[in-house]
Amino acid sequence: MELARKLPEIEEAAAKQKKHRTSNIKSARGRIRRGEHRTSKVIGFTGPGGAGKTTLIDELVLRFLNQNPKGRIAILSHDPSVIGEGALLGDRATMINSQDDRVFMRSMATRGQAGGLSPATQDCLALLAESRFDYVIIETVGTGQEAMPFQKNGIVDLTVLVMNPDYGSRLQLQKIVMLDLADIVVVNKSDLQRARTAHTEIEQRLEQNRRDQQLIDTVAKRHRDSGVDELFDLISMVGRDRRPRQTRGRENL
Amino acid sequence: MPSPIRLLTAGPICDGHDSAINTINLEFIRHGIEVIYLGYHRSVGDIVRAAIQEDVRAIGISSYNGGHIEFFAEVVALLRKRGSDIKVFGGGGGTITHDDAAAMKRKGVYKIFFAGTSLAEMTD
């Protein structure tokens, strides 16, 4: 409950454009940059609206809660503010497994900030990362061809880009900057016919990067989907050095 | 500019009537409110947990199935038990009578809107 009350203070300060530079938050951010006091692994999820980010996160949370009877997760979920108006923060409506006493979820509106996150996100994140959660999950709004919302070498340990298999032509992939930067790329809705082609095209696109990137196919809406299991295992391996370890890619069926 | 008001809206357990709540959500949003929509078929526990985590000003419940006196009362009771002063309001078209509403008010519900209430009135 305390946490719930501190977060709006941060949002309030950000709204007044007075950065919440109280000593607490300042030193929390400093500590996080220096890698101290970090109790949580921070995972960022991004991708187009409707790709399945929220559903996927909910499925991962289910696995986590089942496998870790004492584990706790925090989720910071973003939805866009309408200019001059409020916002529909509807991520919670999609989440079933996350309505649990061991999951702390906060829905945030972007409040006029571009890029997928809210002005208060960084500070809220600093607070959450020190609050003894095993994982802090950040979910951006639906993104497209814009820059990666998560800073490189920032607080986020691992970034996951969730793709819709129906993104258009192969050329479109060249425009998606996030494909260069995400640690894990997920092709969701891989039960659709189009997904096979999508997997091949994205695989080729990623090979151009010559980085450690993983590509996984999932069907997030399916119970006990093996792709989601694989994604979960991969995320669980984010170790103290905060780099995802290599696994063999999954063969597409 | 002051921060937007945050509200939580939901439909009670077993209740799938969501036209009203969808319409009202949009109206609230047009008036600058951030609406955390929890969806329909939500239990008292889920509603209260979400409201506290999200630190909302009030919870709006749209109930068309009946059982509203008990359901709303349980939401209020659980909130108070957890030390929260979040207000609870709601509506149910014609299913909530004036007598029902009076009973609910006695149990701590802040306001009930009846059938025919204008959208403007609700946002005020």
CA nearest A174: which of A202, A140, A150, A154? A202
Question: Cβ of A106 and B30 within 8 Å?
Answer: no
Residue B15: pLDDT over 50: yes
B70 CB near a chain A CB, below 8 Å? no
- In three-state secondary structure terms, B96 is coil
Report yes or no on B1 lying in a domain: no
pLDDT band at residue B74 under the 50/70/90 scheme: very high
Which domain range does residue B91 map to? Answer: 6-123
Question: Cβ of B53 and A4 within 8 Å?
Answer: yes
Q: Which residues of B touch A8 (CB under 8 A)?
A: 3, 6, 55
Question: Cβ of A4 and B55 within 8 Å?
Answer: yes
At residue A247, the pLDDT reads 38
pLDDT band at residue A11 under the 50/70/90 scheme: low
Rounded to the nearest 5 degrees, what angle is found at the Cα of A13, between the Cα atoms of B60 and A138?
70
Give bridge partners of residue A137 from the DSSP assignment: A43, A75
- Supply φ then ψ for residue A170, to 5 degrees: -55, -35
Higher pLDDT, A230 or A7: A230
Count CB pairs under 8 A between chains A and B.
78
- Report the CATH number that the domain containing residue B65 is assigned in CATH: 3.40.50.280
- Supply φ then ψ for residue A146, to 5 degrees: -85, 180
d(CA A131, CA A39): 7
Report yes or no on B97 lying in a domain: yes
Collect all residues from A whose CB is shorter than 8 A from any CB in B.
1, 4-5, 7-8, 11-12, 15-16, 81-82, 84-90, 92-94, 99, 101, 104-107, 109, 111
Structure token pair of residue A153: 């070498």
Residue A179: pLDDT over 60: yes
Give percent above pLDDT 90 in chain B. Answer: 27
ipTM for the assembly: 0.83
Chosen CATH of A2-236 out of 3.40.50.300, 1.10.150.240, 3.30.470.30, 2.30.110.10: 3.40.50.300
Residue B85: pLDDT over 70: yes
Question: Cβ of A86 and B35 within 8 Å?
Answer: yes
Q: Which residues of A touch B4 (CB under 8 A)?
A: 81, 86-87, 109, 111
pLDDT in tens, A14-58: 544 433 344 455 555 555 555 555 678 889 999 988 899 999 999
pLDDT in tens, A151-175: 665 678 889 999 999 988 888 888 8
Residue A232: pLDDT over 80: yes
Boundaries of every domain in chain A: 2-236
Residue A115: pLDDT over 70: yes
Q: How many domains, chain B?
A: 1
Give percent above pLDDT 70 in chain A. Answer: 77
Q: Which residue of B has its CA nearest to A80?
A: B34
pLDDT band at residue A10 under the 50/70/90 scheme: low
At residue A55, the pLDDT reads 93
At residue A186, the pLDDT reads 95
- Any idea which of A87-91, A122-126, A186-190, B21-25 has the lowest mean pLDDT? A122-126
The rounded mean pLDDT for chain B is: 85
Give percent above pLDDT 70 in chain B. Answer: 90
* Range A145-154, long-range pairs (CB < 8 A, 24+ positions): A145/A175, A145/A176, A145/A177, A146/A114, A146/A115, A146/A116, A146/A177, A147/A115, A147/A177, A147/A178, A148/A46, A148/A177, A148/A178, A148/A181, A148/A182, A149/A44, A149/A46, A149/A115, A149/A116, A149/A117, A150/A44, A150/A46, A152/A181
Higher pLDDT, B97 or A33: B97
d(CA A147, CA B29): 28
Site from A16, A18, A89, A141 to mutate, B interface, most B CB atoms within 10 angstroms = A89
- Distance from the A229 Cα atom to the nearest Cα atom in chain B, whole angstroms: 26
